[in-house]
Amino acid sequence: MQFNQFKFHKGLILILVFLNFACESPQKEKFDFKSLPKKEVKYASTFSIYEAENFKVIEVKEPWPEAEKSLVYALAENPDKLPKNFEYHHFIKLPIEKMVVTSTTHIPSLEHLGDLNKLIGFPGLDYISSKQARELIDQGKIKELGKNENINTELLISLAPEIVVGFAIEGSNKSLNTLEKMGVPVLYNSDWLEKNPLGKAEWLKVFGLLTGKEKEAFKAFEEIEKSYLQTKKIASETTDRPLVISGAMHNDRWYLPYGNSWQGKLLEDANAKYIFDYTSGSGSIALAFEKVLEKGRQAEFWIGPAQYTSLNQLLDNNKHYKKFKAFQDKNVYGTALITGKTGGVVYYELGPNRPDLVLKDLVKILHPKLLKKHKLQFFKALE
C-alpha cells in the first residue's frame, strides 16, 4: 500500500512539473542591434554606429583600456521607438540641447558643428583654448565643474545636462559612476585610444549624432580626411626622408611615442623616418638616455620635446641634450609654446580633431620646400 502511494505521489509531482514548464512563456530573444545597417566608420576602431528608421545605436567597443565589454547607447526622439528586449547601457533622447564634456578634445567637435552653445559645464575651464568657448566662459554660460576625477556632482546635477561625455583611463571614474547612479547618462568617449590620426577625428560623427547634425558631421569629416590624404600624397612624392626623434627625459627615463601610435603614424605620413617606428604598444616607451642617444644622435629633427619651451630649458634639465644633431642645428619643434588665453596648449585640444593641420605642420617642418604657404598651427621652433 505504501509503495502504491509512493508511486502515486511521484507521478503527481512529475505531472505538476510538466504543467509548470508548459505554463511558462518561452524566453523572449534579445534584440540584436548588430543586425541593423552600419553607418560608415572608416578609421576609428573604438566605436561603431548602427541605424534603424526611428532610432540609432552607438556601440563604444573600447570605452577604456582592456574593457571586458562594449557599452551600447540607444538614441531616439522617444524611447517608445526602440524595439522590445533591447538591452543597452543608456537611452539618449535626441537631439541633445544641454551637455557636459570632460576633455578639451571634445570641444572642437562642438565648435566645428556650431553647437558650443549646448555646452553648459566643464571640469578645468583654464585648459580650454578655443576663443569661441572662452567667450562663452566669460559670459558665464559654461560653468566650472572642478577636476575630472573630482567633479562637483551637485553643481552638475543642478545644471540638468541631458548627457555627460566623459572618459575613464583605468576603467573607473568615481565622479562619472556617481552621476550614472543618479540617473545622468554618461557616454564614454575613447578618442584618446585611437591609434590612427583620422580615427581620432572620426569621433566628430558621434557628436553629430548627439546634436542632431549627423549630415554636417559626416561631411566635415570627409573634408578633414580629404585634406589629410592630399597632404600625405604631397609628402610621399619627395625622396627626402629625414630622421626624427621625439619625447624627452622625465626623472631617469626618456619617454617617447611608440611607432604604431597616432604620433608615429603622423610622422610616417609626413614621410619621415622615426627612429622607433618599429615599436608597438600603448602609452609611451620608457628608455634609458643612452639608448635614445645611440639611435638618434644624428637625427635631423626633434619633434615634440615634451613640455619644454626653450633650448636652455632643455639643457637645464639635462646638459647631454646638446649631443644631438637636431639640438645643435636648432631643429627642435615643440607644441607648448602655442597656448590659449589661459594657458591651455592648443595642440592638445585641437590637434586630435584636425590631424590634417598637424600633418601640414609636420610636412612644413620636415620638408621646407613643400607647402610654402602653410603657416604653422601647433608647432614652434625652440629658441
Dihedral in degrees, nearest 10, Cα atoms 178, 179, 182, 186:
-130
In contact, 115 and 141? CB cutoff 8 Å: no
Q: Hey, do 33-223 and 240-381 end up sharing a CATH topology, with the first three levels equal? A: yes
Residue keyed to cell 576633455: 103
Strand ranges (E), the chain: 47-51, 56-60, 71-76, 90-93, 99-101, 119-122, 143-144, 146-147, 150-151, 163-166, 186-188, 243-246, 248-250, 253-257, 273-274, 284-287, 301-303, 332-334, 380-381
90-93 and 71-76 beta bridge pairing: parallel
56-60 and 47-51 beta bridge pairing: antiparallel
Say if residue 273 is exposed, middle or buried (CB neighbours under 10 Å; 0-12, 13-18, 19+).
middle
**pLDDT digits over 255-267, tens only?**
999 999 999 999 9
Most distant CA atoms of the chain, gap in Å: 108
Q: Enumerate residue ranges in the chain where pLDDT < 50.
A: 1-8, 10-25
CA distance 228 to 213: 23
Dihedral sign (CA 219, 220, 225, 231): positive
The length of the chain, given as a count of residues: 383
Cα-based distances in Å from 181 to 113, 167, 176: 30, 16, 9
In contact, 37 and 51? CB cutoff 8 Å: yes
Architecture of the domain delimited by 33-223: 3-Layer(aba) Sandwich (3.40)
The fold for domain 240-381 equals Rossmann fold (3.40.50)
In contact, 123 and 148? CB cutoff 8 Å: yes
pLDDT of residue 28: 65
pLDDT of residue 227: 98
Give 49-70 as a DSSP string. EEE-SS-EEEEES-SSTT-SS-
Cα-based distances in Å from 212 to 58, 93, 151: 14, 11, 27
Domain boundaries, the chain: 33-223, 240-381
Cis-peptide, bond into residue 95, ω within 30° of zero: yes
Q: What share of the chain is helix, strand, coil (3-state, %, to 5)?
A: 40, 20, 40
**pLDDT digits over 132-187, tens only?**
999 999 999 999 999 877 899 999 999 999 999 999 887 778 889 899 999 999 99
Q: What is the DSSP letter of 337?
A: T
pLDDT of residue 2: 43
